Each structure stands twice: as C-alpha cells, then as structure tokens.
Amino acid sequence: MLEEGQQAPAFNMPTDTVGEVSNETLSGSPYVIYFYPKDDTPGCTKEAIGFTELKNEFDALSVKIIGISKDTLAKHEKFRTKHELDIILASDEDGAMCEAFGVWVEKNMYGRKYMGIERATFLMDATGTVRKIWRKVRVKGHVDAVLEAANTL
C-alpha cells in the first residue's frame, strides 16, 4: 500500500481535456490526485464541484488537480459539462492506477460485498513524493483540508 514519503507510482492517463497526463508532465509542480467511484453521483459531484470552486486557490499554489475514476472519457466530458467542472478528469478504465495507489478495495453496502474505488486523495510535492494521504474520504470539508495541506508544501 502506498504511504506518505514514497514516490507516487508512474502513470500516464488519458483525460477529457488536456490529452494525456502523467507524472512526467507534472514533474516540477505539486499535484493532487483524487480517486472517486463514479461520475455524476451525489458525493462524487460534490467533491468535483468543491475542487472546481477552489481551483483558483490551488492554481495560486501551482497545484494541479486530477480526478480519477474508471469512467470513460465520454462520461467524464458529460460530467464536466453538466456541472461546469474546471479540473482535470482522467480515465482509469483498466484499473491500473486504482491498483497502483491501493484504492481498488472490497466494499460492503447493505450486506453485499463488491470491489470498487475507495474515495481517496493523494497530495504530491513537486518531486512526486506523496506528502499526504486521505483514505475513506468524507466529502464535507475535504477540499478545504487538501488546500490547507497544499499550503504547507
């Protein structure tokens, strides 16, 4: 499992707006990767809107925001348009990033067990070192906590 102080796993992922995003293209800048279960669901929508609302503050710190789910690029585009999102949305259809970051986990809803994406956020510094991890994220107040941590980089 990925821990604070480790290098973020190497990645190269398609996005719905900026072509591909990778740890190489982000090198030299701090960034946030947040994993969420599914586009256009209540919690995921609130989280994406929260990051969009504070994007200018993250931009002032030169921190890029990348939201990742297993949804397709077409679904990401609809999600972005519907909610006027202004963050990078990357598609992890094969689940490789979810596995690499340890967020593909067994979940339990109403007694039914299934595999899914754990809502989690990772803050990396300009060298790609993981500085802060939030697992089992509760959406309320989360984006503010991420911004506060980003301010310490």
Q: Which CATH number fits domain 12-150: 3.40.640.10, 3.30.930.10, 3.40.30.10, 3.40.1190.20?
A: 3.40.30.10
pTM, rounded to two decimals: 0.95
State the Rg of the chain over Cα. 14
Q: What angle do CA 67, 103, 28 make, to 5 degrees?
A: 50
| DSSP three-state, residue 20 | strand
* Angstrom distance (rounded) from CA 47 to CA 55: 12
Active site residue 44: yes
Beta carbons of 57 and 147 less than 8 angstroms apart: yes
Torsion of CA 9, 101, 21, 10, to 10 degrees: 10
Q: What is the pLDDT along the chain (153 residues), one digit of tens a residue?
A: 899 999 999 999 999 998 999 999 999 999 999 999 999 999 999 999 999 999 999 999 999 999 999 999 999 999 999 999 999 999 999 999 999 999 999 998 888 998 999 999 999 999 999 999 999 999 999 999 999 999 999
The catalytic position among 13, 44, 88, 137 is: 44
Torsion of CA 30, 132, 66, 87, to 10 degrees: -80
Residue with tokens 């490789």, as numbered in its chain: 96
